[in-house]
Chain A
Amino acid sequence: MIPASFEYRRAGSVEDALGWLAEDPDSTKLLAGGHSLLPLMKLRLATPGVLVDVGRVPGLSYVRDAGDHVAIGALTRHRDLEISEVARAFVPLLAHVAGQVGDPQVRHRGTIGGSLAHGDPASDLPAAVLALDATMVADGPRGRREIAASDFFRGFLETALEPDEMLTEIRVRKAPSGWAFQKFNRRAQDWAIVGVAAVLDGDPRVALVNMGSTTVRARGTEEALAAGADAAEAADRASEGLEPSSDLHASAEYRRHLATVLVRRALVEAAAARG
């Protein structure tokens, strides 16, 4: 429970952080809320040589109405997203999901950027941004680039970010209605055993938590919906092509079953909310 020794640097700006990352990208890690990284370090599953604390970089915590979309600073804490008026009005799914993450301590420390960059298939916010078709904005030594959510989640704890890049902003199209989020967990504070984020506003999008090695879309369900299937029929195809894991909390078979039930519930709820 004591991490291996590391060097700690506090960044005052994105430039600081990028500069230090560039020095030795493979053994340098950004530290945002620390609520995913520090547990790994304490278990010595991660042993970065340098920790660049971006937690106090100014100007990266915001939720802004940017016309056709909402722009969210990467350092926005889950709690700030949960209570943001802008998020509640234009991307209520995201505000709601932020309120379902962990417990109050976690929500007051963890950041959306950290949650997305961590790339954990068990995390909630990645499924929400995937269902919302969000765009990630990353800064790095080669400049700024935009990455679509559907290209962002690559594998277990693996994203499209390069080791020398920093996620700075998340852009989400407005989706004020027709959404639902289902999280099945044992205790209120736990990660989802299976979770579902559904957005029926526009092309139906259904993203799943913990149904594979990375955050995934329920393509079978999306196809069925596009072909006019009802919620139950579409939900039956929820885990098509997916390989959820078996672990202490659930077998793969049970996860598949849960996905079916939860997707159906999410679709019914989202359709009702769309009116």
Chain B
Amino acid sequence: MSAPVLEDHAAAGVVGTRMLRREDAALLSGEARFVHDVVVPGALHMAVVRSPYAHARIRSVDVSAALGMPGVVAAMTGADLAAEWASPMPCAWPVTADMQSPPHLPVALDEACYVGDAVAVVLAGSQAEAQDAAAAVVVDYEELPAAVDLEDAARDGVLAHLGAPSNRAYTWELAPDPEAVRRAFDDAAVTVKERYRQQRLIPAAMEPRGVCVVPQPFGGEYVVYSSTQIPHILRTMLGLTAGVPEERIRVIAPSVGGGFGSKLDVYAEELLCLALARRLRRPVRWSEERSEAAQATIHGRGQVQEIELAADADGRVQAVRVHLLADMGAYLQLVTPGVPILGAFLYHGTYDVPAYSFTCTGVFTNKTPTDAYRGAGRPEATYAIERAMDALARKLGMDPAELRRRNYIGADKFPYSSVAGLVFDSGEYEAALDEALGLVGYEALRQEQARRRSDGATKLLGVGLSSYVEMCGLAPSRVLASLHYVAGGWETATVRMLPTGKVQVVTGATPHGQGHVTSWSMIVADKLGVPPDDVEVLHSDTGVSPLGLDTYGSRSLSVGGTAIALAADRLVDKARLLAAYRLEAAPEDLELSDGQFAVRGSPSTSIGIGALAFEAFTAHDLPEGMEPNLEASATYDPTNFTFPFGTHIAVVEVDTETGRVDLVRYVGVDDCGNQINPLIVDGQVHGGIAQGVAQALYEEASYDERGNLLTTTFADYLVPAASELPSFTLGRTVTPSPSNPLGVKGVGEAGTIASTPAVVNAVVDALSHLGVEDLEMPVTPERVWRSVGAAAPVPGGAR
């Protein structure tokens, strides 16, 4: 398969144009409905009583006072609910055969393992009544020592779970040729060994989570509204965990206000609302509060990374060696253990590295569980290699752009078999670098930087580069099998035409802010020759779209969009046969253009696809053996991942007196293959960059030494706003993926992956002549100030 570069046919249709998002009118006008807006008369409101201790034995839970409070219908403990569960909370990714997974129930029984762990629930007529009553539940805790710091926990000083053999969840290794790695380090002219901390992040989706479960009057069916990215996976997991036959559960994700991976999960509150609705035969709902979300929704990142590079005297990297500690938090959520593994294949970045080894140990701590967060494993990997490349450049006295250029996988090497075992589909890494350097005006910046240094300015300039490649389009099912993931990676779609010529697309992908409806309708509009507004996209409701694997890992276009394109092609094939029958022509003599099938060379002999849809619907006169209606389905299992790439450059000003860092310019050049809608691509990149900058400079889920989460409001957890960011300059190159017929790669995570190391590299670059080599994230003004005070100036002021 090979796809043409998009611009070649952009003129022929809407694909490739910056069409405005069809979703936005409803979202901006407030018309869109989220779970909290779903009106369900008679619903009970659930409040969750949560552990205020990071680790505690639960001696007793007394709900009697709560039961006497106004509006309260029920109050239950973990023990009261234990019989509801057919199995513990699910983890779908046992990365090793010996992986430890402590028992995890929606409501804890006798041990609370993080601040926020559920210990009881209260149901009342209103949210306010439920919360008042929750405060009246009396829990007798015996506080236990807590495993808080990741490295301490890895040494088993304090066990996160009573009676566990250790805090180790697993150790996972990728070492294709350990001997080669050892040789490369023995022979290296230069080595660097770096240690980085990936702080924990709070995903902070604009809409917190929400659940509402409505038992249906007959047949034992449940409608589950949830603010989730994964209605399909959720249905299966709810069925298995709560012991409800799967077909009796219908999951609907209404408008979902962002997820970033945090809604790629099966949560206690979803199970609780279902079990309580079953038990009480009443609708049960729960809307997460912002400060509750900080504790009860998964965190991202949380790693300590050790990366070593071995290079020859010219700076060519010969080996990369990585050791990770990954903070699982208190329990394994849906894909917790797999997140660092998703990065395992990318620690050599965009570079042609012959020898590689990687180990990761997953460690339990008494903190909120971690799980997938925008980029999931790949931002961490990119951060480590891109920071280490800068360290290597400093050691070699080489310009960081030049060092990267020397090490890139050459454009002539694709498809490229990587040392970690992947086949990179296509790439032109140097072209993206050149484009980025040109856009930012690299040489002039270096001159300005030198000028400020020699003037002794207190506002220094720093330039930071980051080249990345990521693996998107999760995922070929066979590859998932080799990684012990329990599900596949395909996606499914149906395209059907209604009697009036309008089109319905049914997809198993689950948009939650990305603009899928716009993109899907553009693809189908061009395939069928109808206006995009005539294409309705049905999604996120297992009653309408019963099969699907949902949205995460930048998969929805390359996998889900491909399934839609294939289904549309099949529909066109059928329409062509019907057209040929009507026009008394051979199918191969027909051309489809602008929705009209015409006989080649005789354009007046034609019939519109809308008319054909009506004929297929009435079925009064169809060719022998043809079934009524124009409808086709396709399920696409990708043959490979896709590998978007690019180079981002951050320019910062650092005030050496206060430590303040201002991001003054930002250039991103991304290659995500063909672009269906460049406006949506830009939007994804904008948001992604902001989120990556947030990790670099602003955000951290901070804990004190007893395991209390300190950042539970937006006054303390600093999500940056537009006012903290410059206007981004975006460029692009287009290298279509040969792995799917659309030639697309995916762009949901790219900005986040690229920007964090670019920004931190820029700050270190600004201060490197003072001897600063590293700054821990988030790079706060105080950290910068201290580093400037502590650093020893580099003789001669080398870069």
**Chain A 236-261 near chain B by CB (<8 Å), digits 1 or 0:** 00000000000011110010011001
Q: How far is the CB of B775 from chain A (nearest CB, A)?
A: 15
Residue A142 at the chain B interface, CB threshold 8 Å: no
Residue A190 at the chain B interface, CB threshold 8 Å: yes
Q: How far is the CB of A43 from chain B (nearest CB, A)?
A: 8
Which of B94-102, B125-133, B249-257 lines the interface with chain A? Answer: B125-133
Residue B354 at the chain A interface, CB threshold 8 Å: no
CA A188 – CA B780 in complex, angstroms?
15
| In contact, A251 and B132 (Cβ under 8 angstroms) | no
| In contact, B782 and A261 (Cβ under 8 angstroms) | no
| In contact, A187 and B782 (Cβ under 8 angstroms) | no
Which residues of chain A come closer than 8 Å to B780, judged between CB atoms? 186
**Chain B 270-299 near chain A by CB (<8 Å), digits 1 or 0:** 000000000000000000011100000000
| In contact, B711 and A1 (Cβ under 8 angstroms) | no
Q: How large is the interface on B (under 10, 10 to 19, 20 to 34, 35 or more residues)?
A: 20 to 34
Which residues of chain A come closer than 8 Å to B785, judged between CB atoms? 254, 257
The residue in chain B whose Cβ has the minimal distance to the Cβ of A188 is B723
Which residues 26-53 of A sit at the B interface, judged by CB distance below 8 A?
43
| In contact, B724 and A187 (Cβ under 8 angstroms) | yes
**Chain B 769-799 near chain A by CB (<8 Å), digits 1 or 0:** 0000000000011100110000000000000
| In contact, A189 and B127 (Cβ under 8 angstroms) | no
| In contact, A188 and B132 (Cβ under 8 angstroms) | no
Which residues of chain B come closer than 8 Å to A262, judged between CB atoms? 658
CA A193 – CA B720 in complex, angstroms?
16
**Chain B 652-676 near chain A by CB (<8 Å), digits 1 or 0:** 0000011010000000000000000
| In contact, B782 and A254 (Cβ under 8 angstroms) | yes
Which residues of chain B come closer than 8 Å to A227, judged between CB atoms? none
| In contact, B782 and A250 (Cβ under 8 angstroms) | yes
| In contact, A186 and B723 (Cβ under 8 angstroms) | no
Given the known interface contacts A187-B698, A258-B658, the answer about A251 and B723 at a Cβ–Cβ threshold of 8 Å is: no
**Chain A 173-206 near chain B by CB (<8 Å), digits 1 or 0:** 0000000000010111111010000000000000
Which residues of chain A come closer than 8 Å to B781, judged between CB atoms? 184, 186, 193, 254
Q: State which of A184, A187, A257 has its C-beta within 8 Å of the C-beta of B718.
A: A187
**Chain B 703-716 near chain A by CB (<8 Å), digits 1 or 0:** 00000001101011
| In contact, B290 and A184 (Cβ under 8 angstroms) | no
Which residues of chain A come closer than 8 Å to B724, judged between CB atoms? 187-188
Q: State which of B657, B698, B702 has its C-beta within 8 Å of the C-beta of A261.
A: B657
| Residues of B in contact with A (beta carbons under 8 Å apart) | 127-128, 131-132, 289-291, 657-658, 660, 698, 702, 710-711, 713, 715-716, 718, 720-721, 723-724, 780-782, 785-786
Q: State which of B132, B291, B658, B720 has its C-beta within 8 Å of the C-beta of A184.
A: B658
Which residues of chain B come closer than 8 Å to A5, judged between CB atoms? 128, 132
Which residues of chain A come closer than 8 Å to B290, judged between CB atoms? 1
Which residues 4-18 of A sit at the B interface, judged by CB distance below 8 A?
4-5
Q: How far is the CB of B458 from chain A (nearest CB, A)?
A: 9
15 sample A-B contacts, Cβ–Cβ < 8 Å, listed by A number? A1-B289, A2-B131, A5-B128, A43-B291, A184-B660, A187-B698, A187-B721, A188-B721, A191-B715, A248-B702, A248-B710, A248-B711, A254-B782, A254-B786, A257-B785
Which residues of chain A come closer than 8 Å to B716, judged between CB atoms? 248-249
CA A250 – CA B658 in complex, angstroms?
12
Query: What 5 A-B pairs come out closest when comparing CB atoms?
Result: A188-B723, A1-B289, A254-B782, A2-B128, A261-B657
CA A248 – CA B700 in complex, angstroms?
10
Most buried by B among A191, A251, A257: A257
Most buried by A among B710, B715, B720: B715
CA A204 – CA B343 in complex, angstroms?
58
Q: How far is the CB of A259 from chain B (nearest CB, A)?
A: 11
Which residues of chain B come closer than 8 Å to A250, judged between CB atoms? 782
Q: How far is the CB of A140 from chain B (nearest CB, A)?
A: 32
**Interface majority SS on A: helix, strand, loop or mixed?**
loop
Q: How far is the CB of A156 from chain B (nearest CB, A)?
A: 16
Which residues of chain B come closer than 8 Å to A186, judged between CB atoms? 698, 718, 780-781
Q: State which of B131, B289, B715, B786 has its C-beta within 8 Å of the C-beta of A190.
A: B715
The residue in chain A whose Cβ has the minimal distance to the Cβ of B287 is A1
Q: How far is the CB of A183 from chain B (nearest CB, A)?
A: 12
Which residues of chain A come closer than 8 Å to B658, judged between CB atoms? 184, 258, 261-262
Q: What total of chain A residues lie within 8 Å of the partner, measured CB to CB?
A: 22
Q: State which of B660, B713, B723 has its C-beta within 8 Å of the C-beta of A189.
A: B723
| In contact, A1 and B782 (Cβ under 8 angstroms) | no
Which residues of chain B come closer than 8 Å to A184, judged between CB atoms? 658, 660, 781
The residue in chain A whose Cβ has the minimal distance to the Cβ of B659 is A254
Most buried by A among B710, B711, B785: B785
Q: How far is the CB of B356 from chain A (nearest CB, A)?
A: 38
Q: How far is the CB of A188 from chain B (nearest CB, A)?
A: 4
Q: How far is the CB of B65 from chain A (nearest CB, A)?
A: 16
Which residues of chain B come closer than 8 Å to A4, judged between CB atoms? 132
**Chain A 84-124 near chain B by CB (<8 Å), digits 1 or 0:** 00000000000000000000000000000000000000000
| In contact, B782 and A251 (Cβ under 8 angstroms) | yes
Q: How far is the CB of A245 from chain B (nearest CB, A)?
A: 14
| In contact, B291 and A1 (Cβ under 8 angstroms) | yes
Q: How far is the CB of A147 from chain B (nearest CB, A)?
A: 29
Which residues of chain A come closer than 8 Å to B127, judged between CB atoms? 2
The residue in chain A whose Cβ has the minimal distance to the Cβ of B697 is A186
The residue in chain A whose Cβ has the minimal distance to the Cβ of B711 is A248
CA A191 – CA B723 in complex, angstroms?
15
Which residues of chain A come closer than 8 Å to B660, judged between CB atoms? 184
CA A2 – CA B287 in complex, angstroms?
12
Which residues of chain B come closer than 8 Å to A2, judged between CB atoms? 127-128, 131
Q: How far is the CB of A6 from chain B (nearest CB, A)?
A: 12
**Chain A 257-274 near chain B by CB (<8 Å), digits 1 or 0:** 110011000000000000
Which residues of chain A come closer than 8 Å to B128, judged between CB atoms? 2, 5
CA A239 – CA B286 in complex, angstroms?
49
The residue in chain B whose Cβ has the minimal distance to the Cβ of A187 is B724
Q: How far is the CB of A63 from chain B (nearest CB, A)?
A: 27
CA A2 – CA B132 in complex, angstroms?
9
Most buried by B among A4, A250, A254: A254
Q: How far is the CB of B237 from chain A (nearest CB, A)?
A: 29
CA A262 – CA B781 in complex, angstroms?
14
The residue in chain B whose Cβ has the minimal distance to the Cβ of A189 is B721
The residue in chain B whose Cβ has the minimal distance to the Cβ of A3 is B128
CA A193 – CA B660 in complex, angstroms?
12
Which residues of chain A come closer than 8 Å to B657, judged between CB atoms? 261
The residue in chain A whose Cβ has the minimal distance to the Cβ of B289 is A1
CA A227 – CA B364 in complex, angstroms?
61
The residue in chain A whose Cβ has the minimal distance to the Cβ of B704 is A248
The residue in chain B whose Cβ has the minimal distance to the Cβ of A260 is B657
CA A184 – CA B720 in complex, angstroms?
15
CA A251 – CA B785 in complex, angstroms?
12
CA A4 – CA B136 in complex, angstroms?
13
Given A248-B702, A261-B657, 15 more pairs with CB closer than 8 A:
A1-B291, A43-B713, A184-B658, A184-B660, A186-B781, A187-B718, A187-B724, A189-B721, A191-B715, A193-B781, A254-B782, A254-B786, A257-B785, A258-B658, A261-B658
**Chain A 64-88 near chain B by CB (<8 Å), digits 1 or 0:** 0000000000000000000000000
Q: How far is the CB of B652 from chain A (nearest CB, A)?
A: 15
CA A43 – CA B135 in complex, angstroms?
13
Which residues of chain A come closer than 8 Å to B713, judged between CB atoms? 43
CA A4 – CA B129 in complex, angstroms?
10
Q: How far is the CB of B294 from chain A (nearest CB, A)?
A: 12
Which residues of chain A come closer than 8 Å to B291, judged between CB atoms? 1, 43
Q: How far is the CB of A105 from chain B (nearest CB, A)?
A: 12
Most buried by B among A187, A193, A250, A262: A187
Q: How far is the CB of A244 from chain B (nearest CB, A)?
A: 13
CA A190 – CA B716 in complex, angstroms?
10
Which residues of chain B come closer than 8 Å to A188, judged between CB atoms? 721, 723-724
Q: How far is the CB of A184 from chain B (nearest CB, A)?
A: 6
CA A1 – CA B721 in complex, angstroms?
23
The residue in chain B whose Cβ has the minimal distance to the Cβ of A44 is B135
CA A249 – CA B716 in complex, angstroms?
8
The residue in chain A whose Cβ has the minimal distance to the Cβ of B290 is A1
